[in-house]
A and B are shown apart, each in its own frame.
Chain A
């Protein structure tokens, strides 16, 4: 008798299981809210003139496609440029401005500039609440004509203050892109 009772319970439970499996709702698509797809570095000559735009765009984020780099023109020799950086998440419509988030948390972020060739100096033009550099605004001075590279790296939670080098700062890399430039 007990056996029959339990067997019927088993069948009941089984049919309950089977009924569980009938929902077929499509999952919701996720828009990555954190991805930075695009970094635009704008270099405006100090005395005025045409701004040069260095852009790195990676629309599939951590997908297989590499970022696409576009450089709008060549830099002039021995010139000081006012630089600014804009970060966007273009997977969202309209594109989300990530620069604002970085500016809000400027004590936890810092851009680093590593140069080679015909770039003389890069100096920070902004600072966070503790007086440490951030790098959303900076100034860049070119040297004699020739080729140059500018590597821009954004670190999250670096050691602050640091000596300005990537290795001393530590932290996690949010963005890093190297631009090959011509100074003429």
Chain B
């Protein structure tokens, strides 16, 4: 034994001695982390030396004549991330190196704000990148999303903007904020998503329910907001953005700072504050339309390639004043407002936020962990918590004026986990599970009967998705998802309403307590929903791509559709839910064809969406109270059909001149009688001409024209009895406003500042010609014109 050791030492030692003379070799093999296949043509470089070699077809390499010592080895491959590794050479060394092949999937490596993954392969998808989002720093998420084809918004004034995809909004549009599905009472028309646009690094819109990993009920589509990516290296960087608006006489300040370490640790803080006073239409001040918003977020964690975790907390609070003239008493007040053509209340400009107004506070906390398994894939686990508190203040009598009329607290806990097998080049699998608990508490201190009752909601979901690359050109994908929803509510009904709805014959067993004029009931409803998707992508050799997708989606009714019952002052209407409504089922087909030539390109995306049991809220009659007559809006189910088309094209005419063109059209009808659906966006046409000269401090200026057609397909108006006029009158509640054309201007320049830092200046003018217009999808169109000219100046500091 000892002899053997001695001999070995005797043999090795001389070489050791020689190796001091720099005669060591490094050998090894470079392989793909996932597939474990050898990588050819990977370059290895010993940093600070001229030693550089490439791998052969088997992935092997040999570097010779290496001195003993510590080195940094840089390994790169055209399709992979470059890695740096420390090696200690004391003798001939063999190392195996694994490179990450999925460059685009490695969040932590990419530069901030660039490279956003597609969420599906075959659905119609569009993205907004950081530079566009930054221009909307003092606007809303909904405003920014309107830049995309097929995306519109349902507004209540200018500050409450609900995104709408292919004509559908609210509960039919899922919003994923950094992997967390927003739970913020999206059921209400006048409830905007509680998101600070300044926290998002990029936004993707999937126009359909194809991204089943996020939920199965996205009959309209899914909006995915992602955080800017943080690099794994020792660095600190930040950004401050100041915007000033002339319309509203205020602006936004937002700032963020990121610190990252080469060891994978990182932390990011962000904050923004927005303040605007009364907004202005071309001819008058829109009294009581100011806004105050505060958003802060903190994020930290550790991200390595093989595993990592991160924690994020975000707080968002907004206080939004609602146009004073839009708060009305009864149907006669509404008729008067529609006929007046000008708001009844116009006061002088103020920053005060008076009643009616909304106050919302949203907390979001998330804990996310992931681990990669070599040769298999990535496992994610996430817990998130959300708390949403909403106050709505009405104009009330006496001391009640300071008390909210609506005070709701929605608390949601979600646990989710998923595993994605992505080791193989030609196929992938993705499975996941979700559990969610939600509680709604309407505070009785309002002194107003609850519009949304106390409820608890339980969700369980499971999905499996797969994709397979059939040939170099063709990729197919598919998936299924199952969701179980239980809603357990406790609600007081007026006895008269309970009987009028016919619940006394159908739901008598739900009664917990009969209090004479009112009844306490405990409805517990279960919904089992299946969703599925199948689609494909075909890429020709040239620059053509064809995508096609079918998505089946089912959505359980939301609390508003089930339980609403009461007077909605802002709309002067009585809204009635229905305990009998069932899940909606949607069959949506989308296709997209894209072609790119050297100087121009276009894409066409037609879609067809058939929805069974489509839930809609529409006027059904009139009820009389001592306050006068109110139109009754009832939820009703029907079969509907939405057909549409998004078209976009661009052309680079010269080095400096570029034009962009966009057209979107949606038609929504009930299938049995072809009558028009309510709140379907009108066709619109956008054209933009841009002149840019990169060498002039990245100068660019563009002029944008937006033409919105008149919506000619609306439901019929209703006849109501006017107590004031003592006769039946036509209430033009569904008549759409005229078509309009708006011009806008944008200009931008960049100035380097202290080395690699820079300042970007932007000038944006909206409604350049100060045009008077009203939009069909603005719920305040009955009361006032839309916004007049706004000049926005923005300064951005990157440091």
Contacts and interface: CB of A to CB of B under 8 A. Distances in A.
B307 A101 contact: no
Contact of A27 (B413, B490, B574): B490
A63 interface: yes
B674 interface: no
B624 A67 contact: yes
Contact of A156 (B383, B397, B450, B518): B397
A14 B381 CA distance: 12
A143 interface: no
Interface in B267-322: 307
B620 to A, nearest CB: 12
Interface in B613-648: 623-628, 630
Given A32-B447, A34-B397, A62-B574, A27 B454 contact: yes
Contacts of B369: 6
B398 A173 contact: no
A13 B400 contact: no
A72 interface: no
A151 B723 contact: yes
A130 interface: no
B332 A176 contact: yes
Contacts of B417: 10
Interface stretch (A44-52, A77-85, A121-129, A164-172): A164-172
Given A20-B439, A62-B630, A176 B490 contact: no
Contacts of A59: 517
B336 A30 contact: no
A57 B625 CA distance: 9
Nearest to A87: B626
B396 A34 contact: yes
A34 B400 contact: yes
Contacts of B400: 33-34
Contacts of B396: 34
Contact of A101 (B398, B447, B566): B398
Interface string A7-31: 0001001100100110000111111
A29 B492 contact: yes
Contacts, number: 159
A62 B398 contact: no
A107 interface: no
B329 interface: yes
A6 B367 CA distance: 11
A6 B520 contact: no
Name the residue in A172, A174, A176 with the highest tally of chain B Cβ atoms < 10 Å from its Cβ. A176
A149 B336 CA distance: 22
A80 B454 CA distance: 54
Name the residue in B333, B456, B567 with the highest tally of chain A Cβ atoms < 10 Å from its Cβ. B333
Contact of B333 (A21, A28, A173): A173
B328 interface: yes
A118 interface: no
Name the residue in B491, B515, B518 with the highest tally of chain A Cβ atoms < 10 Å from its Cβ. B518
Contacts of B327: 172
Given A29-B492, A30-B447, A63-B497, A174 B371 contact: no
A177 interface: yes
B444 A64 contact: no
Contact of A30 (B329, B492, B574): B492
Interface residues of A, number: 58
Given A173-B333, A174-B329, A34 B448 contact: yes
A153 interface: yes
A3 interface: yes
A31 B383 CA distance: 39
B494 interface: yes
Contacts of A14: 415, 435
A67 B444 CA distance: 26
Interface string A57-72: 1111111111100000
B345 A170 contact: yes
Contact of A6 (B330, B332, B381, B627): B381
A114 B722 CA distance: 14
Interface in B364-382: 369, 371, 379, 381
Interface string A141-168: 0000000010101011100000000110
A32 B328 contact: no
B626 A37 contact: yes
Given A17-B435, A170-B344, A177-B723, A56 B329 contact: no
Contacts of B446: 30
B494 A63 contact: yes
Given A6-B381, A17-B435, A34-B448, A156 B329 contact: yes
B310 to A, nearest CB: 14
Nearest to A169: B344
A31 B447 contact: yes
Given A29-B492, A62-B567, A67-B626, A172 B383 contact: no
The 9 nearest A-B residue pairs measured at CB: A173-B329, A172-B329, A33-B447, A64-B500, A66-B624, A62-B567, A170-B344, A58-B626, A63-B494
22 contacts: A2-B371, A17-B413, A30-B444, A30-B447, A30-B450, A30-B492, A33-B400, A60-B495, A62-B566, A63-B496, A63-B497, A66-B624, A98-B397, A171-B329, A172-B329, A172-B333, A173-B329, A174-B329, A174-B627, A175-B627, A176-B627, A176-B723
Given A171-B329, A172-B329, A176-B723, 9 more contacts: A6-B369, A60-B495, A60-B497, A62-B625, A64-B500, A156-B397, A173-B329, A173-B332, A174-B397
